[in-house]
């Protein structure tokens, strides 16, 4: 446990004051947000506060990030609602029981991933998945709140388009007072935030909304309210864990675990860029897993990192996890001491704040960047977004993860194979990209540089390039591979190189290698692969390889060649001056601007 409290050594009087101040600020932000996220998840409002106490405190103690606030999160809440609403009526006892079972399963999966030390798993899943999913989820969240804003009843189990269709039909029955309260709350939150970004705009807007509701007659005038919260904290109870429940919820729990972990690790790393703290992905997995698992015993629904509350925590001056613990304790004190705090809070006022939360969930800046810069990431973004809206939030996570991994594998299976040649008209004549620098190359001797790992997945890609070069060569093909950018070669890739070397030799040519990493050559020698292809094919530098190959080129072709890019090239018949040497050491000659 000492490992989990190393931050205590960083606590002085000033740091303690900073953490306490940040904790108070965080609690003020957490109160309206966590109640809102509970409503999004279809859970009683008090469960959002339970989650803001138990999950927040445990994740702060057990996780690796000193500044991230874990607890109810919008994206996770909409997935929870999507999964459990298919099995029970939101708000019912069965719904709550199933939600707690799902939360426990999610936490156990996260804990298992952490214990197996595969925290790096999320590195292969683009954060674009979360951005696309969250954008779609924000629309679903907004759609779910219009019935409260308008004060109308809608049937359950509607998809997005059916929801808007029913809302349109229900417009004549809209409750004007509820609409006024919701609109006043929403506008108040926007105005307060514009006045000063550090003001608790949601909390103040809810106060204004409650006041509007009271002035308009409250419940007596048909304005639905959240109602008073149960006093105190819940007693621990084991969620139902029958085999039928586990099998039904397993797929959704795994998707939820992935989403929660991607969000948490992404937020932790984003804040770490500012705080310069080292983040341990596996420990973060364990912290999130234990927090959600234990939280399910105390009527908490699954949570994850909250970007809003985490950013506010850091900006408020938080130094250690004590700020998050203070945050949780203050929420607990408020819940125990003032359970009637939500008694006169209109549901339409909550809907107004949730609409603003949903709008702010859309990461417009990064969406614009992704659509502008990367075609593959744009596909991941749009596919995840569309699947969230049109199919199912859980399925959309799998769609995004699958596409993200598929594009990653496609990139790794297509390492850069770049034709290079000596840079003309410079003293050093270092080797550079032919296309970028518009260089000429020897018609009998091609040089290529491969960047990336050579494994079974990229064998065909490299093989096609080698055969194209062999076909383009005038005379017997001679190809030199610069290997400084190669980090790994597996048996399948090396077998392919042996095969291509033999085919080129049958045509009277030669396949050669230079500037390979020493560690890589040691591995090849130890496994016997180096002996199979022949150590004589390997050169220490391009200069050595060029000096060995150029004298063996067809002199007749050389006499008619105007390129003459090597020092070793024979003089032209018109007695042109000798070409300067290719002065390319491994360090200088292979530094390549792609």
291 phi and psi, to 5 degrees?
Answer: -60, -45
Contacts of 464 (CB under 8 A, 6+ apart): none
- Per the CB < 8 A criterion, the answer to whether 545 and 514 are in contact is yes
The arithmetic mean of pLDDT across residues 377-403, rounded, is 89
pLDDT band for 50, please (50, 70, 90 cuts).
very high
Task: Please give the Cα distance from 184 to 177 (Å, whole number).
Answer: 10
DSSP state of 338: -
> Minimum mean pLDDT among 124-128, 390-394, 466-470: which range?
124-128
Contacts of 349 (CB under 8 A, 6+ apart): 181, 182, 184, 185, 205, 206, 209, 210, 212, 213
Backbone CA torsion sign across 480, 485, 487, 490? negative
Render pLDDT for 318-369 as a digit per residue (tens, 0 to 9): 888 899 999 999 999 988 888 787 778 888 888 888 888 888 888 888 899 9
Chain Cα centroid distance, residue 101: 26
Task: Please give the Cα distance from 370 to 385 (Å, whole number).
Answer: 13
Domain boundaries, the chain: 15-409, 416-589
Q: What is the pLDDT of residue 289?
A: 94
- Per the CB < 8 A criterion, the answer to whether 285 and 114 are in contact is yes
Task: Please give the Cα distance from 129 to 401 (Å, whole number).
Answer: 7
Render pLDDT for 276-322 as a digit per residue (tens, 0 to 9): 787 788 888 899 999 999 999 999 999 998 887 888 888 878 888 89
- Percent share of the chain, pLDDT over 90: 18
Contacts of 583 (CB under 8 A, 6+ apart): 427, 428, 429, 430, 543, 589
Check whether 589 has a pLDDT greater than 90.
no
- Three-class SS of 294-309: HHHCCCCCCCEECHHH
The arithmetic mean of pLDDT across residues 478-486, rounded, is 88
> Minimum mean pLDDT among 128-132, 226-230, 459-463, 590-594: which range?
590-594
Q: Where are the alpha helices (DSSP H) in 63-200?
A: 74-84, 93-115, 128-150, 160-170, 176-195
Chain mean pLDDT for the chain: 84
Render pLDDT for 139-180 as a digit per residue (tens, 0 to 9): 888 888 888 888 888 776 677 888 888 888 888 888 888 899
Vertex 77 angle, CA 241 and 191, to 5°: 160
> Minimum mean pLDDT among 99-103, 375-379, 589-593: which range?
589-593
* CATH T-level fold of 416-589: Transcription Regulator spoIIAA (3.30.750)
The reply to whether the predicted model has a pTM over 0.85 is no
Render pLDDT for 413-442 as a digit per residue (tens, 0 to 9): 888 888 888 876 666 667 888 888 777 888
Q: What is the pLDDT of residue 374?
A: 86
Check whether 588 has a pLDDT greater than 60.
no
Q: What is the pLDDT of residue 379?
A: 93
Q: What is the pLDDT of residue 584?
A: 46
3 state SS of 234: coil
Residue 540, CA distances (Å) to 454, 460, 482, 500, 518 in order: 20, 27, 10, 21, 10
Render pLDDT for 441-461 as a digit per residue (tens, 0 to 9): 888 888 889 888 888 888 999
Q: What is the pLDDT of residue 576?
A: 45
Task: Please give the Cα distance from 299 to 276 (Å, whole number).
Answer: 35
Describe the crossing of helices 491-506 and 459-472 by its angle, rounded to 10 degrees: 20
Check whether 370 has a pLDDT greater than 50.
yes
Q: What is the pLDDT of residue 175?
A: 87
480 phi and psi, to 5 degrees?
Answer: -115, 125
Q: Are strands 486-489 and 510-514 parallel, antiparallel or unpaired?
A: unpaired
The arithmetic mean of pLDDT across residues 179-188, rounded, is 91
- Between 561 and 497, residue with greater pLDDT: 497
3 state SS of 534: coil
- Between 4 and 472, residue with greater pLDDT: 472
Check whether 402 has a pLDDT greater than 80.
yes
Task: Please give the Cα distance from 63 to 65 (Å, whole number).
Answer: 6
């Amino acid at each position: 446990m000492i490992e989990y409290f190393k931050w205590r050594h960083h606590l002085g009087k000033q740091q303690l004051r900073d953490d306490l101040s940040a904790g108070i600020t965080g609690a003020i932000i957490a109160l309206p947000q966590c109640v809102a996220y509970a409503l999004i998840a279809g859970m009683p409002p008090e469960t959002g506060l339970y989650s803001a106490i138990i999950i927040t405190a445990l994740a702060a103690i057990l996780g690796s990030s000193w500044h991230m606030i874990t607890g109810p999160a919008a994206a996770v809440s909409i997935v929870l609602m999507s999964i459990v609403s298919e099995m029970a009526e939101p708000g019912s006892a069965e719904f709550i029981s199933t939600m707690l079972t799902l939360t426990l399963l999610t936490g156990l999966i996260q804990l298992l991933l952490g214990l197996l030390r595969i925290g790096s798993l999320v590195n292969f899943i683009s954060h674009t998945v979360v951005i696309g999913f969250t954008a779609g989820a924000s629309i679903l969240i907004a759609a779910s709140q219009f019935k409260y804003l308008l004060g109308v009843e809608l049937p359950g189990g509607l998809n997005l388009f059916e929801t808007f269709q029913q809302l349109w039909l229900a417009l004549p029955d809209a409750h004007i007072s509820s609409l006024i309260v919701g609109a006043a709350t929403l506008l108040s939150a926007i105005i307060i935030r514009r006045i000063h970004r550090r003001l608790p705009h949601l909390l103040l807007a809810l106060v204004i909304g409650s006041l509007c509701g009271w002035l308009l007659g409250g419940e007596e005038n048909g304005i639905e309210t959240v109602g008073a919260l149960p006093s105190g904290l819940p007693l621990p109870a084991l969620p139902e864990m029958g085999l039928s429940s586990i099998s039904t919820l397993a797929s959704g729990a795994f998707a939820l675990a992935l989403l929660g972990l991607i969000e948490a690790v992404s937020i932790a790393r984003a804040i770490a860029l500012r705080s310069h703290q080292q983040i341990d992905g596996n420990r973060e997995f364990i912290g999130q897993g234990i927090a959600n698992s234990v939280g399910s015993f105390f009527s908490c629904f699954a949570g994850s990192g909250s970007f809003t509350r985490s950013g506010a925590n850091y900006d408020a001056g938080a130094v250690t996890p004590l700020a998050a613990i203070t945050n949780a304790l203050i929420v607990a004190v408020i819940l125990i001491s003032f359970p009637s705090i939500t008694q006169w809070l209109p549901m339409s006022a909550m809907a107004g704040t949730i609409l603003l939360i949903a709008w702010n969930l859309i990461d417009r800046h990064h969406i614009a960047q992704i659509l502008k810069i990367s075609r593959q990431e744009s596909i991941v973004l749009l596919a995840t977004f569309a699947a969230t809206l049109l199919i199912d939030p859980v399925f959309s996570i799998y769609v995004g993860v699958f596409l993200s991994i598929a594009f990653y594998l496609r990139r790794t299976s297509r390492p850069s194979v770049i034709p290079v040649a000596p840079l003309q008209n410079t003293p050093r004549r270092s080797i550079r990209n032919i296309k970028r620098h518009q260089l000429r190359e020897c018609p009998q001797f091609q040089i290529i540089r491969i960047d990336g790992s050579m494994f079974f997945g990229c064998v065909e890609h490299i093989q096609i390039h080698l055969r194209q070069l062999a076909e383009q060569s005038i005379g017997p093909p001679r190809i030199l591979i610069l290997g400084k950018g190669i980090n790994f070669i597996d048996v399948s890739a090396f077998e392919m190189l042996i095969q291509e070397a033999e085919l080129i030799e049958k045509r009277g040519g030669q396949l050669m290698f230079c500037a390979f990493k020493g560690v890589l050559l040691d591995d090849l020698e130890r496994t016997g692969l180096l002996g199979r292809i022949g150590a004589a094919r390997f050169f220490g530098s391009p200069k050595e390889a060029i000096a060995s190959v150029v004298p063996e080129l067809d002199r007749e072709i050389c006499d008619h060649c105007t390129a003459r890019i090597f020092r070793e090239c024979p003089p032209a018949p018109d007695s042109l001056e000798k070409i300067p040497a290719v002065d390319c050491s491994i360090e200088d000659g292979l530094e390549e601007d792609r």
